[in-house]
Structure 1
Amino acid sequence: MLSGKSKTFDWTSRLGIASTIAEALAFMHQELGQHGIIHGNMKSSNILLNNNMEPFISEYGTMPKDDHQQSSTFATPIANDAFKGDVYGFGVILLELLTGKLVKNDGIDLTDWVQSVVREEWTGEVFDRSLLKEYASEERMVNMLQVAIRCVNSSLEARPSMNQVVLMINTIKDEEEKSLIYQV
């Protein structure tokens, strides 16, 4: 989705793509079938864009949620772990949208790099320069970065559900849309 030959997305497009993907994943997790569907391999190369730059999730798994199956190591439902794995993958996609970088770019792990920059309080350095050039709202970009960081948290329990992610992203999107109305 964000390869070197791809079109540069403006902030509003990136926000819309993030919102659409989040809503689709939340729908898969909560609404499809009796127990939900886990993607199982959420990454940017599994997000396809049509001619209108609308995202579609591809290559999703059909592993149904099974609350009774337990992991022998952690004694937590495997499916819930897999749902949280989807959340992590989505968080990485958000980081790619915000930074304009791929997961493994020049041997640097994107999640580690972003977290180290944020720890050093240089948060503005993580954002794609094209977003800064278009004067995208740094406050809303920081809010989206915070969502991404919550999604890639190393603790499964600390990661939000996709429904929570949808609420956070749509709040940011609503703020963006209101600011655009006031600019006119």
Structure 2
Amino acid sequence: MIGTSSNRQPLDWTSRLSIAATIADALAYMHDELQYDRIPHGNLKSSNILLNKNMEPSISEYGLMLDQGQDQKGGILANGALQEAQEDYKAIFKVDSYAFGVVLLELLTGRMVLTEGLDLATWVVAVVREEWTVEVFDKDLMQECINEERMVRLLRIAIKCVAKPPEARPSMRQVALAIGAMREEDERSLDVSDLSVTRSFAGL
């Protein structure tokens, strides 16, 4: 799982947001480049996202599911299933939108894809529907005392990505732009915070 591991400290908010933004940018780029070839990742999951020592992510196994499933009827799709999506390239790429949404939920909740016998996406949507949104977030993030509104914004993006109808999911380009804007806001707020601290010391 990306959010935590046995040999790493839990990731802070800035790191998780940066990882999400980088993955979204990479997928959006690949989708743009391969849209006419209709080649999605097809099997995106946290175990296919590798972090280097600087906690920068790289995506592995892009397009391998296409080779494995090319002789079967239907197109690639979500949660390991094959569906009748081959004729609609937009639906094919929305497979990755769904899978990315699940990765986002892992980053936000600190939970595995299956928890207590429930699918993570199903569990999160059910909790949010009951208006217990705060309950879904990783306790490490809550203890960090970050802006809760930002976490909710990222959660809403994730929930849109895991919508059941493929046509209801945003494209990875839309997702990348939304998360990129959040990262820029986050960086600006950090800069302002650092400037305030510098001024406070200067006034001593």
The alignment's TM-score, normalised by the length of structure 2, stands at: 0.80
Aligned mates of 1:36, 1:19 — CA distance in 2 = 23
The answer for unaligned runs of 5 or more in structure 1 is 65-69
Tell me how far 1:178 sits from its aligned partner: 1.5
Verify the 8 A CA contact 1:28 1:36 in the aligned structure 2: no
**Structure with larger Rg:** 2
1:134 equivalenced with 2:134 (yes/no): no
Question: Out of 144, 154, 177, which is 2:164 matched to?
Answer: 154
Question: Out of 155, 178, 184, which is 2:188 matched to?
Answer: 178
Aligned mates of 2:127, 2:182 — CA distance in 1 = 22
Tell me how far 1:81 sits from its aligned partner: 2.1
Verify the 8 A CA contact 2:24 2:175 in the aligned structure 1: yes
Aligned-pair identity (%): 55
Matching residue of 2:174: 164
Taking a change above 3 Å as real, the CA distance of residues 33 and 152 of structure 1, as seen in their structure-2 partners, is closer
The answer for unaligned runs of 5 or more in structure 2 is 68-73, 76-82, 195-204
Verify the 8 A CA contact 2:20 2:179 in the aligned structure 1: yes
The aligned amino acid for 1:12 is: T
Question: Out of 12, 21, 24, which is 2:14 matched to?
Answer: 12
Question: Out of 83, 106, 109, which is 2:116 matched to?
Answer: 106
Task: Tell me the secondary structure at the aligned position of residue 50 of structure 2.
Answer: strand
Taking a change above 3 Å as real, the CA distance of residues 144 and 33 of structure 1, as seen in their structure-2 partners, is closer
Matching residue of 2:42: 40
The aligned amino acid for 1:94 is: L
Tell me how far 1:179 sits from its aligned partner: 1.3
Q: CA RMSD in A?
A: 2.3
Tell me how far 1:96 sits from its aligned partner: 0.2
Aligned mates of 1:26, 1:155 — CA distance in 2 = 20
1:112-166: CA deviation from partner (whole Å, max 9, x where unpaired)? 1100111011111111010111112111100000000000000111100000001
Question: Out of 71, 84, 93, which is 1:83 matched to?
Answer: 93
Aligned mates of 1:172, 1:140 — CA distance in 2 = 8
Matching residue of 1:67: none
The aligned amino acid for 1:160 is: P
Task: Tell me the secondary structure at the aligned position of residue 48 of structure 1.
Answer: strand
